[in-house]
């Protein structure tokens, strides 16, 4: 089905909701709109990883609403969101449909380049080996994650992947909004547990 092209009113409504989102997050000077850039125009103060992680958390909650393990991610470049998405391997019968892989694919399509130099990847949970590998393959400049994943995390939990031995320099920061990110997971599994 071909989507109808967006009207002036649709665009105005989208810009208004983006402005509301910025306002609710306490963004003081949120006007970074690049209307025809094709990128999402959510603005965040530079150097504010919590703000990006909040958006990844929103995606994680969306995954929970679909019955998927709640992990969300965003790819950011030059203060703009290039892609956002969440885990959905169950819905798509795709074992590789982790949040990170979803957003890396989306971002690469959008930028028309399989290398995402200068892009930052924000994800609510420490990446697994597959996703860390994908981030390196994509040449992500900076990886920021929230909670640790003691069962699958490949940055420092089940294994410490030697990122420094690869030929790509990727800055890694963990623990951003870790409690909030872990809470979403805890709540999801608590609800799924059968009552006695």
Q: Count of CB atoms within 10 A of residue 3's CB?
A: 5
Strand arrangement of the beta sheet that strand 72-77 belongs to? 80-86, 72-77, 120-125, 142-147, 171-173
Q: How far is the CB of 128 from Zn ion (least distance, A)?
A: 3
Give alpha helix (H) positions in the chain: 8-24, 49-65, 89-92, 99-111, 129-137, 178-192
**Applying CB under 5 A, what is the total number of residues that bind Zn ion?**
4
Residue of 76, 138, 69, 150 whose CA lies nearest to 101: 138
What is the 8-class DSSP label of residue 142? E
Q: Which is nearer to Zn ion, 88 or 98 (CB)?
A: 98
Q: How far is the CB of 130 from Zn ion (least distance, A)?
A: 5
Q: How far is the CB of 112 from Zn ion (least distance, A)?
A: 24
Active-site option among 100, 120, 126, 187 = 100
Q: How many CA atoms lie within 13 A of 192 on its CB side?
A: 13
100 is annotated as an active-site residue: yes
Q: Which is nearer to Zn ion, 44 or 172 (CB)?
A: 172
In angstroms, the Cα distances linking 27 to 19, 46, 96, 102, 130 are 9, 10, 34, 27, 34
Q: Which is nearer to Zn ion, 51 or 147 (CB)?
A: 147
Quote the CA–CA distance of 1 and 81 in Å, as a whole number. Answer: 26
x/- site string to Zn ion, residues 156 to 195, per CB under 5 A? ----------------------------------------
Q: How far is the CB of 127 from Zn ion (least distance, A)?
A: 5
Q: How far is the CB of 152 from Zn ion (least distance, A)?
A: 7
Q: Which is nearer to Zn ion, 42 or 185 (CB)?
A: 185
Residues in region 81-100 near Zn ion by CB under 5 A: 98
Residues in region 121-140 near Zn ion by CB under 5 A: 128, 130-131
Q: Which is nearer to Zn ion, 19 or 130 (CB)?
A: 130
Residues belonging to the active site: 100
Binding site residues, Zn ion, CB under 5 A: 98, 128, 130-131
């Amino acid at each position: 089905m071909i989507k109808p092209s967006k009207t002036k009113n649709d665009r105005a409504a989208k810009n208004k909701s983006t402005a509301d989102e910025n306002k609710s997050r306490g963004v003081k000077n949120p006007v970074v709109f690049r209307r025809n850039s094709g990128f999402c125009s959510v603005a965040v103060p530079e150097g504010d990883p919590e703000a990006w992680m909040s958006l990844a958390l929103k995606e994680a909650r969306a995954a929970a609403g679909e019955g998927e393990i709640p992990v969300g991610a965003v790819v950011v470049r030059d203060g703009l969101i290039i892609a956002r998405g969440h885990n959905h391997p169950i819905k798509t019968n795709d074992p590789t449909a982790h949040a990170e892989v979803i957003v890396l694919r989306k971002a690469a399509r959008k930028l028309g380049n399989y290398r995402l130099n200068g892009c930052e990847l924000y994800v609510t949970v420490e990446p697994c080996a597959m996703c860390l590998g994908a981030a390196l393959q994509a040449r992500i400049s900076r990886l920021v994650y929230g909670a640790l994943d003691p069962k699958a995390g490949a940055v420092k939990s089940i294994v410490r992947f030697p990122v420094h031995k690869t030929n790509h320099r990727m800055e890694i920061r963990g623990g951003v909004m870790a409690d909030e990110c872990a809470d979403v997971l805890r709540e999801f599994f608590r609800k799924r547990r059968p009552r006695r």
